[in-house]
Amino acid sequence: MLAAAGFWLLVRHRAAPDPYAAVAAALRQARPADVASITLYPLLPDKQGRPARPFELRTAAAIGPVLRGLQQLRPIRVNKQTFNPFIEATLMVRLSPELAAARQLHSHNVIFRLASAAEGDVALRAYSEVVCQSTALSQRVRHLRDSVDSR
């Protein structure tokens, strides 16, 4: 029974999302070389009305502007009763295993839902209740999405 309880605690601890403070610190410390890739999954159709298609950034030149937008995220308070975000995209950041280990993160994947709301452009961290103001990040992501759509 004691072994089962210990196993449950271990599994429960590993399944818990990393605290926002640890993720934010890792993102602030990250350089483009510390990010393996950034994948954007748009949910809205492109300007021509075609279905959205995901795309992945792998080069430091492409990752840099989006990473700078991620580094500018700041948590904001929202009224849970009236907060009604319109989710536009999912953004997955894959940190290098070395950076994740250095910041003691359980996962090297960080997921945000990018949305528009009465509070402005926001990023909702997946698996948590953290809501961040994301004006710069949303602008960079829209620019990238539009440039990919125009190809």
What is the three-state SS of the chain? CHHHHHHHHHHHHHHCCCCHHHHHHHHHHCCHHHEEEEEEEECCCCCCCCCCCCEEECCHHHHHHHHHHHHCCEECCCCCCCCCCEEEEEEEEEECHHHHHHCCCCCCEEEEEEEEECCEEEEEECCCCCEEECHHHHHHHHHHHHHHHCC
The pLDDT of residue 28 is: 95
Instruction: State the pLDDT confidence band at 45, using cuts at 50, 70 and 90.
Output: confident
Q: List, for residues 6-24, the tens digit of each pLDDT value.
A: 454 444 445 567 899 999 9
Q: What is the pLDDT of residues 75-95, one digit of tens each?
A: 999 998 999 999 999 999 999
Model confidence at 1: pLDDT above 80: no
Which token pair is 88?
A: 């536009």
pLDDT single digits (tens) 95-146? 999 999 999 999 999 999 999 999 999 999 998 899 999 999 999 998 888 7
Residue 112 dihedral angles phi and psi, to the nearest 5°: -125, 145
The larger pLDDT score, comparing residue 71 to residue 53, is at: 71
> What pLDDT sits at residue 47?
76
**What pTM value is reported for the model?**
0.82
User: What are the extents of the domains in the chain?
Assistant: 17-149
Which overall architecture, per CATH, does domain 17-149 show?
Sandwich (2.60)
More confident residue, 127 or 63: 63
